[in-house]
Structure 1
């Protein structure tokens, strides 16, 4: 396998945290997004979508979605499971990952890509040129507020997001907290359950 990635990118961070937690070492090549290498001909021959990370399997299959790469790697490296054990827990982890992507990750990306002049003409990832929509900045911040509140309520009586077990859902939430810093947004002080969860999640990720 070979992983094409850019360490600083939020989606790349999601996958890298899984790799680090499980102790998986993969041949890796950095694709410098600051220089738009993800949109260059060389990389788009590997991933026509022009996004990272991209995990190239030994048979040539290219996994371009983080959640798909995580499911695949979990099957190959089941130790220290992150995608859940048993049918229900697996379903809950995947459901939380999807929910977090829609309610936190995507709103943050809306604010970041529509409010940053550096992304003029590139309001969405990939090779298609799309103009920014300034109104999405305000909408993204409003969506984000609702997302934090929803997650905070879910953590009221739970150590982690799924059955008190550290999982990929918690990694995704950690990524969202980091990514929110890119738009100078912090978890609201009123979300005390998320603030209590944060050191627990970081300790679990570090293996403490």
Structure 2
């Protein structure tokens, strides 16, 4: 979504996670952590996490700004991005990686086998439901998570809501502000990119 918002074209290489292509020697040469996404810069540097990729894109392609424009706005974006990742995406990761048969022995991303802990899936479900309430409350006060501008925090929260649907967690009928925000995000061309 960041690439689409910034109207940046990159060469894409699909990695077949289902068949373990991320563990191949060829991919390990790019990212020894065996995780996606990865962005290889024109200088040949492999950026191997969302935070470094988003920061690099923001610095190289500053328009439109997705990480804020002034000190307070940048701080709000950072806060809500962290909350979307920690309270939302990490919760869904706990559910998916600790309950899916396909993730048996893969409870954490990366090259090492890690066994599932079913209790973490239940904790993740509870955390995800709480974060939906947090989002609805925040979006009752402001059009976007960090204020008046769409940002990487909105992208992360949108990804959380989309992944939550995979495990049958969805906004409740009384999450009116969240529903309006979701409609606005889904209307953006980047949501279908």
What is the TM-score when the length of structure 1 is the normalising length? 0.87
Matched, 1:201 2:185: yes
Give 1:162's match in structure 2, choosing from 146, 153, 168.
Answer: 146
Determine the C-alpha separation between the residues in 1 that align with 2:190 and 2:86: 26
Higher relative contact order (CA 8 A, sep 6+): 2
What is the deviation of 1:60?
Answer: 2.6
- Report the counterpart of residue 138 of structure 1 in structure 2: 122
- Report the counterpart of residue 23 of structure 2 in structure 1: 39
Aligned residues of 1:155 and 1:193 also touching (Cα < 8 A): yes
Question: CA distance change for structure 1 residues 70 and 176 in 2, over 3 Å: closer, same or farther?
Answer: same
Matched, 1:71 2:84: no
Aligned with 2:32: secondary structure?
coil
Query: Would you say how many aligned residue pairs link Structure 1 and Structure 2?
Result: 191
- Report the counterpart of residue 87 of structure 1 in structure 2: 71
Determine the C-alpha separation between the residues in 2 that align with 1:110 and 1:157: 29
> Displaced runs of 4+ in structure 1, greater than 6 A?
none
Could you tell me which runs of 5 or more consecutive residues in structure 1 were left unpaired when the two chains were aligned: 1-16
Give 1:117's match in structure 2, choosing from 89, 101, 120.
Answer: 101
What is the deviation of 1:206?
Answer: 4.9
Matched, 1:24 2:16: no
More strand by share: 1
- Report the counterpart of residue 98 of structure 1 in structure 2: 82
Q: Deviations over 1:91-149 (max 9, x none)?
A: 21122111111111011111111101111111011101100001111111111111111
Aligned residues of 2:129 and 2:169 also touching (Cα < 8 A): no
Could you tell me which runs of 5 or more consecutive residues in structure 2 were left unpaired when the two chains were aligned: none
Aligned with 2:18: secondary structure?
helix
What is the TM-score when the length of structure 2 is the normalising length? 0.94
What is the root-mean-square deviation of aligned Cα atoms in Å?
1.4
